[in-house]
Amino acid sequence: MDPALFKADLEAKPAALRALAARLATDDPWAFAGPVRRVIFLGMGSSRYAAQVAARRLRAAGIDAAAEYASADGGFPFPGDDTLIVAISASGTSRETLDAVAKIPRYVALTNVPSSPLAEQATAVVDMAAGVEAGGVACRSFQHTLALLDALVTRLTDGPDTAALVTRAAEATEDLLDRRDAWFPRCAELLGNADGIFPMAPVERLSSALQSALMFREGPRVAADGCETGDWAHVDVYLTKTLRYRSLLFPGSRYDEQALEWMHSRGSTIVSVGGAAPGAALAVRFRHDDDSRVRLLTETLIAELVAADWWAASAKAQVNP
C-alpha cells in the first residue's frame, strides 16, 4: 500500500468512469441475467457495503434480495433457475468469498481481475474494469462495483439508464478534483485533531458512510465508524458526549435534523457532503449532487482524498521523525 499511488488512483477516477460509461452505452454486462425471483450477493468489506444498497433497491422493487457476509456459515440456498448468486471481490482472491462459492454449482463473479480464482470457477464473469489500483486500496473498484450493481438493478427492474449515471458521476468526481483547493484544506482541518471520524448516511446510501470510515482506517489508521443516520440516535449518539466528535454527514435522511440537534447541543464538528446541513462548519458540494444516484457513486471521494493526505503525512513523519 502506498499513499502517493493511492492519490493517483483517485485522480484517475474520471477517466475510468468515462470508459465504463462508454462500455455500458453499448454493452449490457448483465445480459445473461434473465428474470429472477431471488438475488443473493456474497462479499466482504467494500464489496458487501455496495451490495447492501443494491439488495435494498431490489427488495423495494419486489425481488427477494440479500447482501450476505461471505464468511457466514451457510444461511443461503443453492441456486435454482429463479436464483442469481453474485460473488463480489475486486481482487477475486478474497478467502471468505472463495470459501463461500466452493460448493455452489452456479454463480456470477463480479471482479476487477477476470483471470482470478473467483472468476475461473464462475458460470459468468462481470469485469469491474476499474484498472490496476496501484495504491493497494479498493477505491475505483468500489465505485465501479456500485455502478455495475446499478446496471444489474436496472436490468432486473427496468430502471433508469446506468451509462448516463456513470457519465454524470465522472463529471461530479472531476468537479471535486478540479476544485479541491477550494474545499480540501478546510475539510481536512475540520476533521483533524479528533478522537475519531464518524460518517453517517441515509440507508439508501449507507455504503458511503461505511466506505468512508474504512478509508480512514485503512490508510492513515485513524479511528472511524460509519452509521445509518436514523440508527445513529440509537447506537452512536453516546459518543458525542465524551469524544472530540467529527461527523462527516451525507445528507438526505429524514432523520438528519434529529442527528444534527444532538451534535449541535454537544459541540460536535460537522462537515456536510453533497448538500447543506444547518450548522455544519463546511458543506462540500459538487456537480450533479441534486441526484442521489450520483451522490452514491461520488461522495466517498471526500474521505478518500483526506485519508490519502493524512496517510502521506503519517508515512513522511515515520521516515523523518
pLDDT of residue 248: 98
Q: Within this chain, do residues 33 and 152 fall inside the same structural domain, yes or no?
A: yes
Q: What pLDDT, on a 0 to 100 scale, did the predictor assign at position 1? A: 79
Provide the β-strand partners of residue 249. 200, 272
Last-in-domain residue among 128, 160, 192: 160
What total number of domains does the chain contain? Answer: 2
pLDDT tens by residue, 270-283: 999 999 999 999 99
Can you give the pLDDT at residue 230?
Answer: 98
Q: Does position 157 have pLDDT exceeding 70, yes or no?
A: yes
Reply yes or no on whether the pLDDT at 316 is more than 90: no
- Mean pLDDT value across the chain: 95
pLDDT in tens, 231-243: 999 999 999 999 9
Specify whether 223 is located in the same domain as 278.
Answer: yes
pLDDT computed for residue 73 by the predictor? 87
- Is there a domain that residue 168 lies in? no
Task: Tell me if 170 is assigned to some domain.
Answer: no
Q: Once rounded to an integer, what is the mean pLDDT over residues 81-99?
A: 95
Mean pLDDT for the stretch of residues 73-77: 69
Give me the amino acid identity at 269.
Answer: T
Q: Are residues 22 and 130 in the same domain?
A: yes
Residues 153 and 267 in one domain: no
**Based on the domain organization, do 288 and 219 belong to the same domain?**
yes
Question: For the residues 284-306, what does the mean pLDDT come to?
Answer: 98
Parent domain of 303:
179-319
Residues 105 and 212 in one domain: no
Q: Are residues 153 and 185 in the same domain?
A: no
- What would the pLDDT profile of 188-234 be if each residue is shown by its tens digit? 999 999 999 999 999 999 999 999 999 999 999 999 999 999 999 99
Judge contact between 263 and 240, C-beta under 8 A.
yes
Residue that terminates a domain, selected from 160, 189, 216: 160
Q: Are both 14 and 97 inside the same structural domain? A: yes
Assess whether 127 and 202 both reside in one domain. Answer: no
Whether 254 and 127 map to the same domain: the answer is no
Question: Is 174 inside a domain boundary?
Answer: no
296 located within any domain: yes
In a domain, 171, yes or no: no
Asked whether residue 319 carries a pLDDT value surpassing 90, the answer given is no
Q: Is residue 166 part of a domain?
A: no
Classify residue 317 by burial, with Cβ atoms within 10 Å: 0-12, 13-18, 19+: exposed
**Whether residues 105 and 227 fall in one domain:** no
As a whole number, mean pLDDT of residues 164-176 equals 98
The CA–CA distances, whole Å, from 100 to 59, 96, 107, 134, 258 equal 23, 6, 11, 27, 40
pLDDT of residue 79: 61
Q: Is residue 88 part of a domain?
A: yes
pLDDT digits (tens, 9 = 90+) for 7-50: 999 999 999 999 999 999 999 999 999 889 999 999 999 999 99
Instruction: Tell me, yes or no, whether 125 and 223 share the same domain.
Output: no
Q: Is residue 300 part of a domain?
A: yes
Q: Positive or negative, the Cα torsion across 46, 49, 53, 56?
A: positive
Average pLDDT over residues 79-87: 86
Q: How far apart are CA 198 and CA 303, in angstroms?
A: 11
Beta carbons of 93 and 119 less than 8 angstroms apart:
no
CATH number at residue 94: 3.40.50.10490
